[in-house]
Amino acid sequence: MEIKKAKKLSGSLAIPGDKSISHRAVMFGSLAEGTTKITNFLEGADCLSTISCFRKMGINIENTEGEILVHGKGLHGLCAPSETLDVGNSGTTTRLISGILAGQDFVSELTGDASIQKRPMKRIMTPLSQMGADIISLNGNGCAPLKISGKKLHAIHYNSPVASAQVKSCVLLAGMYADGITRVTEPVLSRNHTEIMLNYFGANVTAEGTTASIKPDPSLYGREILVPGDISSAAYFIAAGLLVPNSEILLKNVGINPTRDGILRVCRDMGADITLLNETTEGEPTADLLIRSSALHGTTIEGAIIPTLIDELPMIAVMAAFAEGTTVIRDAQELRVKESDRIQVMTENLRKMGADIQETEDGMIIHGGKALHGAEIDPHLDHRVAMSFAVAGLLCEGTLSIKNGECVNISYPEFYSDLYSLAE
Ligand code: S3P
């Protein structure tokens, strides 16, 4: 994929559905009684992997353009899959489904692509084992493929060493099959879509500070779900609109849940002109975002804000390279175990463009404002790295080419056409 410098960005864009919320809607709809209708579902490869896994466990899921119907069979209605569940590239599918599988009365195996087979699964194997589940890494390396023999589970209070919504959600979902109230405390609050949506389906989840608790054996009922636009997908356009001179764009229907909105806070810290319009507050909050070109300056990003923008840090690293002054990113060691080692891959590729960037163990230090030039970018098949560099390509001199650019299909199949619909 080749990207050329843009003169300006203008117009408006409806941001595709949120990936985290789309996964959960299919999962919880499968465990509910009756039909769940999902509108604005994200048809990215990751969410399609979740659909395929639940179909293999006997759930009828209809997919007509833009709308998904999940015919749920209740909490105890899944069937043993006759083949290995393929999670593709999706960490969310792997970790959340493992919590559900741990409570079933059958044995299952799941695996995915080369990246997923390197991602750490001990973080879910540990709490699930404490609950009495039998979960093993078939290669003995703490990664997928995983074999899960479902059991009657015990309730625990799990103190998670990582702020991870995937770990928290895994334990809460297993908690539906436990013998008492299951609690998870995390060091810093991570995204809370599981808590919000499980309650909407009829479960009893309470949250206090960084502890979430769930009562076992809930009756879940099919619901209608309108998936808000994904702020993680909006992030590329927020950055492009701010950085490309003379731009003004409107991003419609973006989810602004406070556990996800760190990108807005950081952009404003950097001097961004962003206006929220048409805000809604019921369920998952949303707004239209009006973005105007702004002169950005460096900032420090650390501590409790990190989980609220964890997937946006590749884009923030690119923004920092084009901003004046120094940006320091700390406490983001989780970036090393995402779809790629995002600290290493961002540093390597930004350097190829001429950026002054230093890799640290838990982040990056970026001295911005240098003139950057086109380069051959290798995103290591990581969708978010590819999209971040596509934005860099709108700004630098010369052509920027992205190896395996189609990897954006994981979370945003229409990314390049949406980008070119705004760029001149
Ligand atoms: C996700 C949680 C985050 C995020 C991922 C989606 C989710 O991972 O990086 O893209 O849907 O729960 P962690 O919670 O493991 O940080």
Within this chain, do residues 62 and 78 fall inside the same structural domain, yes or no?
yes
pLDDT in tens, 99-138: 999 999 999 999 999 999 999 999 999 999 999 999 999 9
Q: Domain count for the chain, please give it.
A: 2
| 37 shares a domain with 12 | no
Same domain? 216 vs 91: yes
Residue where a domain stops, chosen among 181, 202, 226: 226
Task: Say whether 311 is catalytic.
Answer: yes
- With H, G, I as helix, E, B as strand and everything else as coil, classify residue 349: helix
Question: What is the residue-averaged pLDDT of the chain?
Answer: 97
168 CA: nearest ligand 1 atom:
14
pLDDT at residue 410, as a whole number: 98
Alpha carbon distance 359, 349 (integer Å) = 12
The answer on whether 311 is annotated among ligand-binding residues is yes
Q: Is the pLDDT of residue 65 over 80?
A: no
Which residue's structure tokens are 């890799």?
A: 359
Check if 334 has its Cβ closer than 6 Å to any atom of ligand 1: yes
Say if residue 160 is in the same domain as residue 234. no
Ligand 1 centre distance from Cα of residue 195 (Å): 14
The dihedral built from the CA positions of residue 44, 335, 229 and 391, taken in this order, carries a sign that is: negative
Give the pTM.
0.98
Tens-place pLDDT, residues 186-223: 999 999 999 999 999 999 999 999 999 999 999 999 99
- Rg over alpha carbons for the chain, rounded to the nearest Å, is 21
Last residue of a domain, one of 226, 261, 287: 226
pLDDT at 64 (0 to 100): 87
Instruction: Identify the domain containing residue 125 by its residue range.
Output: 19-226
Residue 46 sits in the same domain as residue 195? yes
pLDDT at 308 over 80: yes
- Among 209, 226, 243, the domain boundary falls at 226
b/e 254-267 (16+ beta carbons within 10 angstroms → b): bbbbeebbbbbbbb
pLDDT number for residue 67? 93
Answer yes or no: do 62 and 192 share one domain: yes
* Judgement on whether residues 182 and 167 belong to the same structural domain of the protein: yes
Ligand 1: residue of 19, 21, 92, 362 to mutate (most ligand atoms within 8 A of CB) is 92
* Percent of the chain's residues with pLDDT above 90: 99
**How many CA atoms, within 13 angstroms, populate the side-chain half-sphere of residue 222?**
15
Give the tens place of pLDDT for each residue, 314-340.
999 999 999 999 999 999 999 999 999
Whether 212 and 325 map to the same domain: the answer is no
- Per-residue pLDDT, 228: 98
66 confidence band (pLDDT: 50, 70, 90): confident
SS3 of 362, please? Answer: coil
Whether 45 and 84 map to the same domain: the answer is: yes
- CB of 111 closer than 6 angstroms to any ligand 1 atom: no
Model pLDDT for residues 137-176, shown as the tens digit of each residue: 999 999 999 999 999 999 999 999 999 999 999 999 999 9
Mean pLDDT of 356-370: 98
Asked whether residue 274 carries a pLDDT value surpassing 90, the answer given is: yes
Q: Is the pLDDT of residue 245 over 80?
A: yes
Question: What CATH number does the domain containing 25 carry?
Answer: 3.65.10.10
Pick left, alpha or beta for residue 162 (phi over 0 → left; psi -120 to 50 → alpha; otherwise beta).
beta
